[in-house]
Chains A and B, each alone.
Chain A
Amino acid sequence: MPVSLPAIPAIVTGSLASQHAFPYLTWLILAPIIGAVLVVALPKDLVRLIRSITYLSSLAVLGITAAVIDQFSTKLAGYQMTSTHEWAPGLGISWSIGVDGISLFLVALTAVLFPLALYGVAPSRNVKAYSTWMLLLETGCLGSFVSLDLMLFFLFFELTLIPVYFLIASWGHEGRNRAAMRFFIYTFVGSAVLLVGAIALAFLHQAQTGVLTFSIPQLEMTRLSGTEGVLLFLAFTFAFAVKAPIWPFHTWSPDAYAEAPASGSIILGGVMAKLGTYGIIRFDLGFFPHATTMLAPIFLTLGVIGIIYGGMVAARQRNLKRLVAYSSLSHMGFIVLGAFALTGASVSGAVLQMVNHGLYTAALFLLVAMIYRRRKTFEVSRLRGLQNLAPVMAGIFTVVMLASIGLPGLNGFIGEFLILSGTFTAHRWWAVVAVTGVVISAVYMLWAYQQVFHGKVTEDERAAAFPEISPRERLVLVPIVVLIVFLGVYPKPVLDRIEPSVNQLVTHVLQIDHATPSAAYHSSVSLKLGK
């Protein structure tokens, strides 16, 4: 380029930790892409080879994730294993990735759920396209969680839409086209607003510092006036509220969850919903602390409404998959509640609950898919007495169900307890109302279990074979159950890694808030989680 252009300052900042020796995270993103490229290059008849490559690349992600967790230091609150390369400097975009306590276990969740979803519920037709879309989706999810550049995040966030659209529209159930369309339009409208908001934020930052950058740590330093903060907060939150989904932006989700193929539901409910709440914690709290504290009561209320509404609607469902979908919606309300309660405990709880929710929602969708595979129906009224036919499955279902209800000793309890206790210290009444959601979830879950697994089996039903859980299915479900129990009994290693980052974030929110006049309100809130 012969024309000399103005020099663009380097984007790497002091707040990022030193460059790591081996670019684990870059390979984390590349592994599924490489798999996808290989799959695309193969002829579609080599189904077995395609499947093996898909499994291998998703397992490679799992391996890299294990190494990342191993390397992750519990001492540091900031981003670790960062790597930054200029990408489109003129536009302020850079390839900047890293993990902290908030994103680490979401990466792990993604890395765990994808191989299980791929292995557990693969459709038999058009394996090549299916594998490609799933691997691309995995890239999108992982990339979103590890991006330290807002525009890079947006790119990956968008990248997830296309595979999900095709997964629903090509492999879904009867209402798939409509569901896929609604999913796509809702979420795309959300991200359209997000893009404008993100660009506006970057330009406000540029006006203050003279540097055009989308680097997340840098943008957190932007000082915004009240109106700017609120408008940008709403632009960001709208996108994430649709994705999460937060009531009343949820209307696309029950259809999409219910009509998606099993793997689609697992990823939608298990991983992609977390993109929304992750976005809220990472961006709303990080970029707009003042607006967040100001508008938190509204979103706390929406969270509580979501909990109660999701629970009530779930209780009325006669379709098992829709019941799980609405229960997922209801439990996402807890995460929203924890995120907007803005105490160390509640936000830590929200982050932990994202992982927990991902695990048991995925397990529930897997179990529902296994029942469907045997009986070709989701109707509760047409299922009965499965306990006699498949006791092991019933046992696993019980564990997962109890985890989702929040039974102490299983993972759901820890997260919800932290959220509710954290919320209680700051926003008592919201917490009190939210607790009823736990009761409602116990009601519909136990009802569903009773209907499906208890009861007498007629001769006809016995004749229509309902085979016990197969070794392959066992291989899929057992890891999740192990994780559910492990996290329920011994969450310390996870919390140790989550808390430093969360505490730093909450301090950031409250500090900025102190700078403004209306802040005394939060000063009594304890920041530290009692250890």
Chain B
Amino acid sequence: MLATTIILPTINYTAILPELIMLGGMLVLLGLVAVIPRDFSTKTYAGLTQVIGTASLVSSLVLWHDVAAHGAFQAVAQAVDVDGFSVFFLVLVSAILIVAPAFAADYLHDEGIEGAEYFILALIAGAGAMLMGAANDLILVFLALEILSIPLYVIAGLNARRATSGEASMKYFLLGAFSSAIFVYGIALTYGATGSTNLADIAAFLSRNVIATPGTLYAGAALLLVGFAFKIAAVPFHMWSPDVYEGSPDGVVGFMAAIAKVGGFAAFLRVFVSALPTLSSIWEPVVWVLCALSLIAGAVIALSQRNIKRMLAYSSINHAGFILMGLIALSSRGVASSLYYLFAYSFIVLASFGIVTVVAKANSGSAEIDAFRGLGRRSPVLAVFFAIFLLAQAGAPFTTGFLAKFYVVSAAVAAHSYAIAVIAMLSAAVAVFFYLRVVLVMFSGSETEDAVGTPEQHPIVLSRWVWSGIMACAAATVIFGIYPLPLINFARAATLLFR
């Protein structure tokens, strides 16, 4: 037989504790749901998920403290980075997993999707997104990408009774599998060209050597780019997102939108900024085009949407364009601005879809714009909150939405990318218009339409779960919009420690 000497990695389990808590918690839920079948309601599982999210948040903060005190370090055979950047995503993903169950608990219960399945899948996806931010090795990036994606395919199809849900899941899965395959091919070519899958090694190799025939390397980088662009739904790799958002169960779309974008951008930023900065003259124009297309197409196509979920899907594409501007700037300011934008976007999109869910439920499942007509009279407080989130997406002053846009635009201007800055602001002008249209529909007038009479104009009753979610997101949006200092420092520190 073989005489093997295997070099065993020493695994620093505290470095990946947040991910382990997520996965461990997931196993506990899996065991619970098996042993006590159907006895706990979804609300119990939602609460447990929030507890797990909180535990992971605490361990992330401990890691944050370690990194701040002792500097960044690597773990698990240099495959995992523990630095400001990864800690930012640990905290953000934990926070998303604390908030997201609040929007799903009631919805799943009402739709008859009992059990812990959604929460189990959400925790797995959360662990994947965390690893996306921490991965320092292309192999681990790919694993994390799959850990993130596969649960999301299932979540899209969670509502087995609705054909649209299955359709969304199928579309997402087929296109996602395609993009994953392309991504792996990109990893293979990059490895072939540089001799390593470790991001730091790739960067070191590229800075030391001039590659005579860079075709393989370019192809590898291009395929990686395509893989990421698909995950973040940048035009022209966005086709899946409106269909998936529209078809997926209402109460979980916000989570899907937030976590996929957070995870996708985490690895996108790290791979391209830390491993391939020497190729920036090659990939920057491509990202520029992706960014411009996302900005324009996202805003313009959203204009013609009548379904709010589709409209929000296209507006997410527009947001993806904004976040890409931070990458184009290719500076620590740029990355910090992208992080700030991701943070702002996550909570806004969670709450927006959360509110769409309850309104759609009160209108027999319709998320058409007409479902929102007269919401200002029907449930004024809910309408005001929805207006806040829509205006925040539009970049209204004194919300995180404005500062996020300001931050990315200023990063682009600082990098002398004036054209993309102007395109972005013009697309924001278009985008404002469709957000305002919804707000106007909610508040404006309909003495005449009252006479025509929709019979069920009783106020929409919200449970404490949804309220708590909305309040948490509103607090994140408004407080950090008025007093942004802590969040900006957090994002800046995340990139200061970025190697």
Contacts and interface: CB of A to CB of B under 8 A. Distances in A.
Interface of A: 1-3, 5, 40, 44, 87-91, 125-126, 129, 151, 155-156, 158-159, 162, 165-166, 169-170, 181, 184-185, 188-189, 192-193, 195-196, 199-200, 202-203
Contacts of A195: 406, 409, 425
Given A155-B402, A162-B391, A166-B443, A199 B433 contact: no
Q: Which of B391, B418, B436, B443 counts the most chain A CB atoms within 10 A?
A: B436
Given A88-B403, A90-B488, A165-B436, A158 B396 contact: yes
B237 interface: no
Contacts of A188: 428-429, 432
Interface residues of B, number: 46
A180 to B, nearest CB: 8
Q: Which of B64, B429, B496 counts the most chain A CB atoms within 10 A?
A: B429
A189 B425 CA distance: 8
A346 B425 CA distance: 35
Contacts of A166: 439-440, 443
24 contacts: A3-B68, A3-B493, A5-B493, A5-B496, A88-B484, A90-B485, A125-B445, A126-B445, A129-B376, A158-B396, A158-B397, A162-B391, A162-B396, A165-B436, A170-B444, A184-B432, A184-B436, A188-B428, A189-B426, A192-B425, A193-B425, A195-B425, A196-B421, A203-B410
Interface in B396-411: 396-398, 402-403, 406-407, 409-410
Interface in B429-453: 429, 432-433, 436, 439-440, 443-445, 447
B69 interface: yes
A125 B436 CA distance: 21
B488 A44 contact: no
Given A5-B493, A91-B406, A169 B444 contact: yes
A189 B429 contact: yes
Contact of A196 (B409, B444, B447, B496): B409
B224 to A, nearest CB: 30
A151 B432 CA distance: 19
B380 interface: yes
Contacts of B407: 91
Interface string B467-495: 00000000000000000111011101100
Interface of B: 64-65, 68-69, 84, 376, 380, 384, 391, 396-398, 402-403, 406-407, 409-410, 413-414, 418, 421-422, 425-426, 428-429, 432-433, 436, 439-440, 443-445, 447, 484-486, 488-490, 492-493, 496-497
A196 B425 contact: yes
Given A3-B493, A88-B488, A196-B422, A203 B440 contact: no
A155 B493 contact: no
Contacts of A181: 433
A2 B62 CA distance: 11
Contacts of A44: 380
B84 A3 contact: yes
Given A156-B397, A170-B443, A1 B493 contact: yes
A170 B447 CA distance: 12
A196 B413 contact: yes
Contacts of A87: 484-485
Nearest to A160: B397
Nearest to B68: A2
A189 B461 CA distance: 39
B400 to A, nearest CB: 11
Contacts of A125: 445, 447
A504 to B, nearest CB: 30
Contacts, number: 106
A189 to B, nearest CB: 5
A91 B432 CA distance: 24
A196 B397 contact: no
B384 to A, nearest CB: 7
B485 A203 contact: no
Given A165-B436, A189-B429, A195-B425, 16 more contacts: A1-B486, A1-B489, A2-B68, A88-B403, A91-B406, A91-B407, A91-B410, A158-B397, A170-B443, A185-B433, A188-B432, A192-B422, A196-B409, A199-B406, A199-B409, A199-B410
A200 B492 CA distance: 20
A293 B168 CA distance: 60
Given A91-B410, A189-B426, A196-B421, A2 B65 contact: yes
A159 B84 CA distance: 35
A151 B422 contact: no
Contacts of B490: 1
A158 B64 CA distance: 37
Contacts of A129: 376, 443
Contacts of A90: 485, 488-489, 492
Contact of A200 (B418, B439, B485): B418
A89 B492 CA distance: 12
A524 to B, nearest CB: 38
Contact of A151 (B69, B406, B429, B444): B406
A325 B397 CA distance: 29
Nearest to B439: A166
Nearest to A161: B432
Contacts of A40: 384
A185 B429 contact: yes
A181 B434 CA distance: 10
Contact of B422 (A2, A155, A193): A193
A185 B376 CA distance: 24
Nearest to B428: A192
Nearest to A192: B425
A221 B401 CA distance: 31
A513 B66 CA distance: 56
Contacts of A162: 391, 396, 436
Contacts of B418: 196, 200
B421 A169 contact: no
Contacts of B410: 91, 199, 202-203
A199 B409 CA distance: 8
A160 to B, nearest CB: 10
Contact of B433 (A5, A156, A184, A193): A184
A154 B16 CA distance: 44
B489 A203 contact: no
Contacts of A88: 403, 484-485, 488
A6 to B, nearest CB: 9
A257 to B, nearest CB: 20
B274 to A, nearest CB: 19
B244 to A, nearest CB: 30
A192 B429 contact: yes
Q: Which of B68, B410, B426, B492 counts the most chain A CB atoms within 10 A?
A: B410
Contacts of B485: 87-90
B91 to A, nearest CB: 13
A170 B440 contact: yes
Q: Which of A1, A2, A188, A189 counts the most chain B CB atoms within 10 A?
A: A188
The 9 A-B pairs at the shortest CB distance, nearest first, are namely A192-B425, A2-B68, A3-B493, A155-B397, A188-B429, A199-B413, A199-B410, A90-B488, A196-B421
A2 B444 CA distance: 48
Contacts of B440: 165-166, 169-170
A170 B439 CA distance: 11
A412 B492 CA distance: 53
A511 to B, nearest CB: 28
Contacts of B398: 155, 159
A525 B268 CA distance: 60
Nearest to B420: A196
Nearest to B337: A91
A147 to B, nearest CB: 12
Nearest to B69: A2
A188 B428 CA distance: 9
Contacts of B432: 184, 188
B230 to A, nearest CB: 29
A27 B107 CA distance: 45
A325 to B, nearest CB: 23
Given A162-B396, A192-B428, A200-B418, A91 B403 contact: yes
